[in-house]
């Protein structure tokens, strides 16, 4: 066999060996679970409402396979289970996302990201976000017949996506319309007088069924932690199913009658809200949308303006002669000819009605980044041709349009678009405090917060130091605090980096002494941020600068490292803006500004070097003992701007090589090692 051919054959054999090895190590697995939401919000022990006949879509992180779908409660080849059960077998090991929705029904979609499937069984229950629910009609208990009912609740999400409820009274609601209002607590004890923040109607009413209204995210905004009420009104009256209050009941609110009188029960009502995702585009009525048999083709698209920071999921109603319609999904920036953003994906639809499927796809948070306010384009393709459903004329979107074969139309596709809300953490407070001083005397019930130096601010990158950036505390730097808004986890010392030095080149500074400990307090910082306090031994850091780096980690949630500095010059009164040298003047200033227990020194008194509230001989000695030559004094440094100093190398996600890439690598490796094939 010629030597070149030998190399090619050997490369192919090597590639196949690697593939076989991969498959033997990462065997296909199973994912199973339920789609559901809590029957009583905040009380999982009360059970779950199962999402029977909803659709679930499993999407890989790339185009390596066609993402399967399942109708919840209807496993393929089995009798319907009548609940939210699903099971998908023979799933290759890897990273996936899961999307659950049914636009024809009463609730709101949910996306689960970073689902890792291995060779065994992965159990994943998809729980919808609800701020209030009491999904019970046990014992056929219902309210009195009244025109208005109210249910109060405490918000956890940022906006209401939808409200559902269930009524008794067979045949009583024909040709009637329900008006649903969301009311915000304005201090009035009677919720009927609260401020309206949302309004919707339902004109297809019946008894013993799920009635609902739906909004897109942001239409009905809420403030987490605040009280709201759902008001349901029907001219002529209604009777809503209820559940009497007991130890299992919802704790954040109760029902009120039409006069605003509190009741000892909760209404059969559910409030679906935004948490980590927003539904920016959706139908507000039941059904697949408007069908136009002439609106067919192979490639369609929908433009939209982004609201979130990443695309979470999309679904589309489409008709075709095919069963389980397969779509290829791409996302582009700007329009149908714009550059592609993120991976191509293929997914299979789920049965909706005769010749009609709902086809969905989902994305992990790092797959399709979006810039809020910019236009994007969702491209779908099917080689056999489809007829997508269109939005009803009164439900068309105001920020985009549908395209057929790259040509703009005056329609919108019957499409749900879900976007990720990615909250990035931010450092909003940087403090130095006088630990073990008069101001945080634990025996006197004083906390470390009272020992924060109010006249000191952190030296930031690119700035030159002044007296505002360093203390004269006789115990040196023994405590700093960092306030982080949106703290992602529970940070430890490993989420920080500390250096000490006294020149303009902090990249060459040495490691700081190891801190004694760290304390995280939720909501204790400025503007309700989480406060992190870090402690050092007295005198461990003195007469030098401390560089603090809050690292961008999973625990902090920061997008990039946050760097700041505090300094210390024991006994320095800040009497010269040009330098921080401690000399006889600092001792004299302490002698000339005495304070006693009768007129104690405040925390920002410059000459109280030991921060004990008194200025006396002890402070004079602190300054005298700390006297330094100019060359040894704390320097008023200028630190590098943002991005200066030593660089930090971070790991990046490396996609798995494709089969062709592995083959090419194998061939290249063999060609480079051609000596292996030399005849002996």
- For 240-256, write each residue's pLDDT tens digit: 999 999 999 999 999 99
Q: What percent of the chain has pLDDT over 70?
A: 90
Q: What letter does residue 439 receive in the DSSP assignment? A: G
The confidence score (pLDDT) of residue 324 equals 85
* 276 pLDDT tier (thresholds 50, 70, 90): confident
- Average pLDDT in the 531-550 region? 97
- The residue behind tokens 């074969």 is 405
Domain 279-420 in CATH 2.60.120? The answer is yes
- Range with lowest mean pLDDT among 20-29, 539-548, 583-592, 655-664: 655-664
- The separation between the first and the last C-alpha atoms of the chain, rounded to the nearest angstrom, is 15
Angstrom distance (rounded) from CA 200 to CA 162: 9
Helix (H) or strand (E) holding 672: helix 659-672
Domain 131-274 matches domain 279-420 at the CATH topology level: yes
Characterize 570-585 residue by residue with b for buried, 16 or more Cβ atoms within 10 angstroms of its Cβ, and e for exposed: bbbbbbeeeebbbbee
- The pLDDT value recorded for residue 106 is 78
pLDDT of the residue at 422: 82
Lowest-confidence segment of 311-325, 363-377, 469-483, 603-617 by average pLDDT: 311-325
- Which of 476-490, 520-534, 606-620, 639-653 bottoms out in mean pLDDT, i.e. has the lowest? 639-653
> Cβ(622)–Cβ(612) under 8 Å?
no
- In this structure, the number of other CB atoms found within 10 A of the CB of residue 443 comes to 5
Torsion sign, CA atoms 122, 123, 129, 131: negative
Give the pLDDT of residue 77: 80
pLDDT for 673 equals 34
Predicted confidence at residue 349, as pLDDT, reads 95
- The confidence band for 407, taking pLDDT boundaries of 50, 70 and 90, is very high
| Residue 13 vs residue 72, higher pLDDT | 72
Arithmetic mean of pLDDT, 160-183:
95
Per-residue confidence (pLDDT) for residue 443, from 0 to 100: 61
Report the pLDDT value the prediction gives residue 8, as an integer from 0 to 100: 42
Cα gap 87→82, rounded to integer Å: 14
For domain 3-127, give the fold.
Answer: Immunoglobulin-like (2.60.40)
Rg (CA), the chain: 33
In this prediction, residue 444 has a pLDDT band, given cuts at 50, 70 and 90, of low
> Checking DSSP bridges between strand 66-67 and strand 48-50, what pairing results, if any?
unpaired
For position 15, what pLDDT does the model report? Answer: 41
Q: What is the pLDDT of residue 389?
A: 97
Residue 588 has pLDDT above 60, yes or no: yes
* Residue 423 banded pLDDT, cuts 50, 70, 90: confident
Residue range 369-401, pLDDT digits in tens: 999 999 999 999 999 999 999 999 988 999 999
pLDDT of residue 447: 86
Pick the CATH number of 131-274 from 1.10.490, 2.60.120, 3.40.1350, 2.60.40: 2.60.120
Whether the per-residue pLDDT at 680 is higher than 60: the answer is: no
Categorize the per-residue pLDDT at 445 as very low, low, confident or very high, splitting at 50, 70 and 90: low
Of the listed ranges 135-139, 206-210, 443-447, the least confidently predicted one is 443-447
CA within 13 Å, CB half, 167? 25
Domain ranges of the chain: 3-127, 131-274, 279-420, 426-625
Question: Where residue 353 falls among pLDDT bands split at 50, 70, 90?
Answer: confident
- CB-based contacts of 72: which residues, under 8 Å, 6+ apart? 34, 35, 50, 51, 52, 53, 54, 55, 56, 83, 84, 85, 86, 100
**In contact, 527 and 533? CB cutoff 8 Å:** no
pLDDT at 108: 86
Q: Using 50, 70 and 90 to split pLDDT, how confident is the model at 660?
A: very low
Report the C-alpha gap between 103 and 418 in whole angstroms.
Answer: 12
Tell me the per-residue pLDDT of 66-124, one tens digit each, with 9 for 90 and over. 999 999 998 888 888 999 999 999 999 999 999 999 998 878 899 999 999 999 999 99
User: What is the rounded CA–CA span in Å between residue 263 and residue 150?
Assistant: 10
Confidence band for 42, pLDDT divided at 50, 70 and 90? very high
pLDDT, residue 167, reads: 96
Q: What is the pLDDT of residue 656?
A: 36
- Which run of H or of E encompasses 122? strand 121-123
Residue 446: pLDDT band with limits 50, 70, 90: low
Cα(195)–Cα(182) distance, integer angstroms:
8
Per the model's pLDDT, the better-predicted residue between 658 and 195 turns out to be 195
Strand partners, 376: 304, 333
Residues 6+ apart with CB under 8 A from 548: 430, 458, 480, 482, 496, 497, 498, 563, 564, 565, 566
Structure-model confidence comparison of residues 65 and 675, the more confident one: 65
pLDDT digits (tens, 9 = 90+) for 475-501: 999 999 999 998 988 999 999 999 999
- CA gap 615, 560 in Å, rounded: 43
Name the H helices within 550-626.
584-592, 617-625
- Provide mean pLDDT across the span 601-629: 93
pLDDT for position 538: 97
216-230, 429-443, 578-592: segment of lowest average pLDDT: 429-443
pLDDT confidence of residue 583: 93
């Amino acid at each position: 066999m010629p030597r070149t051919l030998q190399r090619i054959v050997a490369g192919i054999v090597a590639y196949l060996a690697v593939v076989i090895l991969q498959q033997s190590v990462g065997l296909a697995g199973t994912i199973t679970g339920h789609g559901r939401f809590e029957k009583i919000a905040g009380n999982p022990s009360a059970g779950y409402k199962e999402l029977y006949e909803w659709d679930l879509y499993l999407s890989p992180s790339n185009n390596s396979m066609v993402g399967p779908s399942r109708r919840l409660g209807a496993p393929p080849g089995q009798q319907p289970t009548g609940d939210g059960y699903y099971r998908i077998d023979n799933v290759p090991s890897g990273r996936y996302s899961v999307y659950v929705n049914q636009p024809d029904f009463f609730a709101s979609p949910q996306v689960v990201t970073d689902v890792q499937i291995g060779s065994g069984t992965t159990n994943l229950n998809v729980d919808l976000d609800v701020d209030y629910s009491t999904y019970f009609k046990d014992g056929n208990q219902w309210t009195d017949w009244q025109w208005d009912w109210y249910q109060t609740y405490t918000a956890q999400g940022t906006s209401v996506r939808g409200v559902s409820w269930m009524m008794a009274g067979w045949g009583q609601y024909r040709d009637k319309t329900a008006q649903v209002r969301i009311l915000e607590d304005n201090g009035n004890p009677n919720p009927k007088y609260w401020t309206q923040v949302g309004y919707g109607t339902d004109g297809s009413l019946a008894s013993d069924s799920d009635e609902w209204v739906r909004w897109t995210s942001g239409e009905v905004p809420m403030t987490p932690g605040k009280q709201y009420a759902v008001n349901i009104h029907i001219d002529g009256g209604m009777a809503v199913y209820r559940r009497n209050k007991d130890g299992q009941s919802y704790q954040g609110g109760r029902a009120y009658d039409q006069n605003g009188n509190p009741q000892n029960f909760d209404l059969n009502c559910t409030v679906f809200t935004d948490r980590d995702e927003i539904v920016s585009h959706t139908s507000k009525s039941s059904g697949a949308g408007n069908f136009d048999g002439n609106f067919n083709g192979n490639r369609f698209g929908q433009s939209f303006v982004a609201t979130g920071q990443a695309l979470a999921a999309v679904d589309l109603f489409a008709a075709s002669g095919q069963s389980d319609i397969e779509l290829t999904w791409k996302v582009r920036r700007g329009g149908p000819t714009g550059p592609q953003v993120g991976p191509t994906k293929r997914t299979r639809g789920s049965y909706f009605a005769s010749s009609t499927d709902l086809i969905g796809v989902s994305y992990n948070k790092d797959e399709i980044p979006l810039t809020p306010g910019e236009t994007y384009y969702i491209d779908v393709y099917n080689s056999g041709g489809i007829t997508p459903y269109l939005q009803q004329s009164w439900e068309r979107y105001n920020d985009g349009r549908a395209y057929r074969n790259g040509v703009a139309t005056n329609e919108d596709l019957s499409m749900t678009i879900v976007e990720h809300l990615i909250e990035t953490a931010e450092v909003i407070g940087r403090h130095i405090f006088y630990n073990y001083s008069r101001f945080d005397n634990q025996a006197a019930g004083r906390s470390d917060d009272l020992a924060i130096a109010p006249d000191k601010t952190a030296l930031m990158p690119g700035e030159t130091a002044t007296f505002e950036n360093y203390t004269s505390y006789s115990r040196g730097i023994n405590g700093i605090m960092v306030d982080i808004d949106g703290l992602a986890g529970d940070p430890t010392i490993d989420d920080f980096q500390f250096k000490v030095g006294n020149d303009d080149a902090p990249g060459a500074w040495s490691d700081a002494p190891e801190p004694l400990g760290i304390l995280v307090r939720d909501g204790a910082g400025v503007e309700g941020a989480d406060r992190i306090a870090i402690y050092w031994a007295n005198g461990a850091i003195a007469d030098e600068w401390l560089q603090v780096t809050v690292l961008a980690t999973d625990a902090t949630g920061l997008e990039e490292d946050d760097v700041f500095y505090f300094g210390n010059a024991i006994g320095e009164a800040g009497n010269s803006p040009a330098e921080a040298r401690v000399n006889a003047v600092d001792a004299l200033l302490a002698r000339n500004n005495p304070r006693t227990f009768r007129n104690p020194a405040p925390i920002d008194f410059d000459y109280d070097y030991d921060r004990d509230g008194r200025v006396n001989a002890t402070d004079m000695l602190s300054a005298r003992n700390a006297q330094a030559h100019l060359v040894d004094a704390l320097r008023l440094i200028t630190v590098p701007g943002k991005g200066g100093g030593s660089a930090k190398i971070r790991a990046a996600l490396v996609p798995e090589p494709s089969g062709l890439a592995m083959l090419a690598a194998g061939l290249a490796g063999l060609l480079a090692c051609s000596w292996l094939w030399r005849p002996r």
